[in-house]
Amino acid sequence: MISKDEVKHIAGLARIGLSEKDINKFSKDLSAVLDWVKELQEVDVSNVEPTAQIIGTENVIREDKAREFPDKNKIADLFPDKKDGFGKVKSIL
Amino acid sequence: MIRDLHNKLISKEITAVQLAEEYFARIQKKDKDIFAYLSLAKKSALDQAKKVDEKIGKGEEIGMLEGIPGAIKDNMCMAETRTTASSKILDNYIAPYDAAAVKNLKDAGAVILGKTNMDEFAMGSSTESSAYGPTKNPIDKERVPGGSSGGSAAAVAGDMAVWALGSDTGGSIRQPAAFCGVVGLKPTYGRVSRYGLISMASSLDQIGPIAKTVEDAAIVLSEISGHDVMDATSAKSSGKRYENYLTGEIKGLKIGLVREYIESLKAEAKELMEKAVEDFKKMGAEIKEVELAYAKYSLPVYYIIMPCEVSSNLARFDGIKYGMRADNYQDTGIDFETEDRSLLETYLDSRRYGFGTEVKKRIMLGTYALSSGYYDAYYLRAQKVRTLIKKDFEKAFDEVDLILAPTTPTPAFRIGEKTEDPLEMYLSDIFTVTANIAGIPAISIPCGTIKEGGKDLPFGLQLMAKWFDEENLLRAAHAYETYSR
């Protein structure tokens, strides 16, 4: 069972603000899924390598060269807050 | 269908502009009730159609997809159009570039009508988690079209697009195709570049076509597949035109059958599957039972790997770079004029009001499973079981060319039927998710109907093939489609 405090902790790590109602709901819902996936604990995985890349592609490299994006203004237009064409972030100090 | 329309275009029986206008007229008439489309791209579609007509007018040759109208799932970027992934957090996002698959279709001269509704960030199996409201199934409007590519499947089934692109992470192309009675293809992982696809679970996501016929799906696949430097996981191009492999002949093809899958179905569905097996035998295929010992763990593996990757991929939505920032948003009830909100509060608020419940839940599940002390028990273990599932398929494909299974346990369910119990919704992906875990290509094709509530609801049959063997997959699907008609 995922307690309400654990839900708050996870939500903090995930940077998601939650209401009291959400906390109750997620405590229940997260527990249900985690209980269900417990089934995997019965599988013997000793000496089994994990799979991250299913078609076996290994390190893909290319020249480390910057490429111009065709229209940078279209990216700048998307900044929720900007100054002099730059994206603006709130001060953290 | 695409071939017929292509022939009509070159014989000047119709023009590309007339064709596009006809589809826009149908959308205007029908989509109020279905809600397959989130946005339309009327101007660019008609401009493109005009170009095709000019080419035909000058006697120039045109490609198979040139001038043929279709739709794009709203989690793929299309330059200068709104791309929301059905999430409020991207409500105001105008894509600054084309996804590779969209670019390839534009280069092929296809006419793109608009962007289709989906479950928010492709997280769902019914299109009910869209922030903009659910899509209805054109066969029965009280039922879901499936998901997450529900808008794409409904657009094709409702004759509001000739073809559509979907994306499939755990069944999101095949399940809606089955529910709407159309064809849905998930190619091999890496076959189609994911550049410009809004990432859900990167090791599972794959773009593919939804269409009325297997040939149409093959034509679209030929255009969208291939290597792309912008997606390091994309595979080398086969250079093949997949529609050229549809011979109608499958004599001697070995098809594997997982007996438990069919035994688990209800009577009517079981009957349809057994009839399909008989049909394949009559066409000359050799049917052989295969065992996939670890496949039953696919769904739990999926519900660990997917949320972990989701939690990482969706970290980019922070209210800073693009998308919704809570401070600029009226509906939060927070008075931003008087309250000075910190950077952390901007993150927390933007994600709180921007994401829907299912998305938050999956981000938190992944965050939990990846958090300190849990990584080995969850993600690492799931990746190891993934290896065992892959080996299952390697072994099976030593003996058979294809594997036959149902696409879903049941036909389309009612709107609202599974929203209360999330686990029940997850179970509708039980037969599709395995192909994503193993990375193999799989297709859903209609295999009859089941009567429920006075309506004949479509049921889908699924074929799975070896990695990169889309030729045999499409050949067998096409042969069955021709035979069963």
> Cβ of B337: how many Cβ atoms within 10 Å?
7
pLDDT tens per residue, range B73-126: 999 999 999 999 999 999 999 999 999 999 999 999 999 999 999 999 999 999
Q: Is residue A48 part of a domain?
A: no
CB-based contact A14 B303, cutoff 8 Å = no
Residue A93, pLDDT > 90, answer: no
CA distances (Å), origin B108, targets B65, B71, B238, B269: 6, 14, 17, 39
Average pLDDT rounded to a whole number, residues B186-213: 98
Share of chain B residues as helix, strand and coil, in percent rounded to the nearest 5 = 45, 15, 40
Pairing of strands B183-186, B111-116: unpaired
The A residues from 2 to 41 touching B (CB cutoff 8 Å) are: 2, 6-7, 10-11, 13-18, 22, 25-26, 29-30, 32-34, 36-37, 39-41
Average pLDDT rounded to a whole number, residues A53-58: 87
B284: alpha, beta or left, given left = phi > 0 and alpha = psi -120 to 50?
Answer: left
Q: Is residue A50 part of a domain?
A: no
Residue B326, pLDDT > 90, answer: no
Structure token pair of residue B242: 């997949």
Evaluate whether ipTM surpasses 0.90: yes
Cβ pair B153, B67 in contact under 8 A = no
**What band does A90 get if pLDDT is binned at 50, 70 and 90?**
confident
CB-based contact B94 A53, cutoff 8 Å = no
Lowest mean pLDDT among B66-70, B138-142, B337-341: B337-341
Contacts of A57 in chain B (CB under 8 A): 190, 232-233, 235
Structure token pair of residue B306: 């997917």
Residue B238, pLDDT > 70, answer: yes
B416: alpha, beta or left, given left = phi > 0 and alpha = psi -120 to 50?
Answer: left
Residue with tokens 């809570």: B326
Q: Which of B207, B194, B188, B223 has the alpha carbon at shortest distance from B100?
A: B194
Widest CA span in chain A: 58
Residues of B catalogued as catalytic: 73, 148, 172
CB contacts < 8 A (A, B): 170
Give the CA dihedral B135, B140, B146, B151, nearest 10 degrees: -40
> Cβ of B141: how many Cβ atoms within 10 Å?
12
Helix/strand/coil for A20: helix
Contacts of B196 in chain A (CB under 8 A): none
Which pLDDT belongs to residue B296?
92
As a whole number, the mean pLDDT across chain B is: 95
Cβ pair B433, B171 in contact under 8 A = yes
CA gyration radius for chain B? 22
CB-based contact A78 B96, cutoff 8 Å = yes
**Residue of B235, B357, B363 lying closest to A14 (CB–CB):** B363
Which pLDDT belongs to residue B69?
98
CB-based contact A54 B423, cutoff 8 Å = no
**What band does B353 get if pLDDT is binned at 50, 70 and 90?**
very high
Q: How far B114 CA sits from the closest chain A CA (Å)?
A: 20
Contacts of B367 in chain A (CB under 8 A): 10, 13-14
In angstroms, the CA B226 to CA B100 distance is 10
What ranges do the domains of chain B cover?
1-317+355-485
Q: Is residue A1 part of a domain?
A: yes
pLDDT tens per residue, range B162-198: 999 999 999 999 999 999 999 999 999 999 999 999 9
Q: Cβ neighbours of residue B299 under 8 Å, at least 6 residues apart?
A: B426, B427, B429, B430, B433
In angstroms, the CA B102 to CA B190 distance is 16
Length of chain A: 93
> Cβ of B6: how many Cβ atoms within 10 Å?
18
Residue B338, pLDDT > 70, answer: no
**What band does B307 get if pLDDT is binned at 50, 70 and 90?**
very high
Which pLDDT belongs to residue B285?
98
**What band does B161 get if pLDDT is binned at 50, 70 and 90?**
very high
Residue B289, pLDDT > 90, answer: yes
- Nearest-Cα residue of chain B relative to residue A90: B343
What total of structural domains would you count in chain A? 1
Phi, psi (deg, nearest 5) at residue B345: -65, -35
Which pLDDT belongs to residue A45?
95
Which pLDDT belongs to residue B340?
74
Which pLDDT belongs to residue A62?
86
**Residue of A48, A79, A87 lying closest to B387 (CB–CB):** A48
Residue B334, pLDDT > 80, answer: no
Residue A52, pLDDT > 90, answer: no
Pairing of strands B442-452, B183-186: antiparallel
- Considering only residues B450 and B326, tell me which one the structure prediction assigns the higher pLDDT: B450
Which CATH number fits the domain that encloses residue A30?
1.10.20.60
Which pLDDT belongs to residue B337?
65
Cβ pair B26, B160 in contact under 8 A = yes
Q: Is A93 on the interface with B (CB under 8 A)?
A: no
Contacts of A54 in chain B (CB under 8 A): 189, 203, 386, 390, 437-439
The A residues from 59 to 88 touching B (CB cutoff 8 Å) are: 60, 62, 69-71, 74-75, 77-81, 87
Q: At CA A38, angle to CA A34 and CA A41, rounded to 5?
A: 145
In angstroms, the CA B265 to CA B261 distance is 7
Q: Which domain holds residue A21?
A: 1-41
Average pLDDT rounded to a whole number, residues B441-453: 96
Q: What is the DSSP letter of B187?
A: P
- Nearest-Cα residue of chain B relative to residue A2: B368
pTM over 0.95: yes
Architecture of the domain delimited by B1-317+355-485: Alpha-Beta Complex (3.90)
Contacts of B437 in chain A (CB under 8 A): 54
Residue with tokens 């708050």: A8
